[in-house]
Amino acid sequence: MTQQDFADPLFAANPYPVYAEWQAEGPIRRVSMPRGFDAWLVTRYEDARKALTDPRLSKAPRGPQSHAVDTAISRHMLATDPPDHTRLRKLVAATFTTRRIEALRPRIEEITDALLDAMSSHDRVDLIDAFAFPLPIQVICELLGIPAEDQDKFRSWSNDIVSGSEVTGPERMQSSMGSLVGYIRGLIEYRRGNLGDDLLSGLIAVRDSDDRLTENELTSMVFLLLIAGHETTVNLIGNGTYLLLSDRDRWERLRADRGLLPGAIEEFLRYEGPVELSTGRVATEDFELAGQQIRAGDVVLVALAAANRDPARFDAPDELRFDRPSNAHIGFGHGLHYCLGAPLARLEAAIAFDKLLDRFPDLRLAVPPSELSWRPGLLLRGLHDLPVTL
């Protein structure tokens, strides 16, 4: 049994040497997790892809939920298997369309310009607080039809939820989850009487039609869209900017040739992606995975961050290459649970980096990279803050 404190700041700062050591020893290992359970952790790319698509690994919660709040948020796409997952994803995809996302481009550009305008009055800012966080949270809130004055509430709640109970403490985490669920239900009740052209109104209309979402499914889907709809993009923008500023040549190359930007974003997703570990899957039967016997009831996790630096799949995996060919990373997952919001995250990131490079050509880190701290937790990978000089 491997003992590794995933919340250890030293591990959080650079987990990749540990992952590389584990990969060299084998594709899968038994690990003890901070939340008091043991799990199988998959670290190699090909085995990760297989695990992410294996129907014998279930995403649905097992047993009764310990809190009413847990029940209210456990009926979204990431916590269900087919046929429920198929139905839920189809219903959300019907409202979360490519047309709706592309129509957001002018508004995303407008929000980005406003945030950069506000930054320009300072000599030094925290890029996470001033830019990487408010951009995606404002976008997803407007997409869902959430009032602007309520948007600041989500940062504290979201921080507690994604950090996990081992970091925030179980009482505080449950309190934040309860506050967010209560807010979502109040918002749904209000929006039912005030339907508009927003995504939440579309989900409510689906829920109230023959092809319905239950009350808990609707609450769960909004919960997922709020959390996943901004947290991953915060980290994509923050991690990507950190990578650019920690090597000046990268920053100057991208400034000089904006045609490299799409490839750079894909490489950020591979090299320092916003999601470190997959959410857990539970074996529904005994079977063999990556040469190990998995028993029914065992928990399996996929280390996306490790798989995306697997030397068997990526040439020179510890090098950041904007022009990397065939960058088939799994930063947004793989298979049935591939991130539905990936096109929105890519659009926001492309606009954010393009305008940041133009607006602040002399942007620099305000502290040495060694002084930056990474948010502890099991799933997401991102910086606490990113002090920069303009």
Residues whose CB falls within 8 Å of the CB of residue 35, separated by 6 or more in sequence, listed in order: 164, 165, 166, 378
Q: Which residues pair with 306 in a beta bridge?
A: none
- What is the rounded CA–CA span in Å between residue 20 and residue 371? 24
The whole-number pLDDT of residue 65 equals 45
C-alpha dihedral, 36 to 37 to 38 to 44, nearest 10°? -100
Q: What is the mean pLDDT of each run of 10 residues along the chain (390 residues)?
A: 73 92 95 82 97 93 52 70 85 78 93 98 96 92 84 75 67 85 90 87 74 81 83 95 97 97 98 93 96 95 97 97 94 90 94 98 95 84 96
Q: Are 7 and 34 in contact (CB under 8 A)?
A: yes
Phi, psi (degrees; rounded to nearest 5) at 226:
-65, -50
The whole-number pLDDT of residue 165 equals 59
Query: Which of 39, 38, 34, 42 lies closest to 8 in space, CA to CA?
Result: 34
> What's the pTM value of the predicted model, to 2 decimals?
0.91
Q: What b-and-e string marks burial along 63-82, b requiring 16 or more CB atoms within 10 Å of the CB?
A: eeeeeebebbbbbbbbbbbe
Count the neighbouring beta carbons within 10 Å of the beta carbon of residue 217. 24
The whole-number pLDDT of residue 304 equals 97
Q: At 330, which helix (H) or strand (E)?
A: none
Which domains does the chain show, CATH number per domain? 2-389 (1.10.630.10)
The whole-number pLDDT of residue 161 equals 76
The whole-number pLDDT of residue 354 equals 98
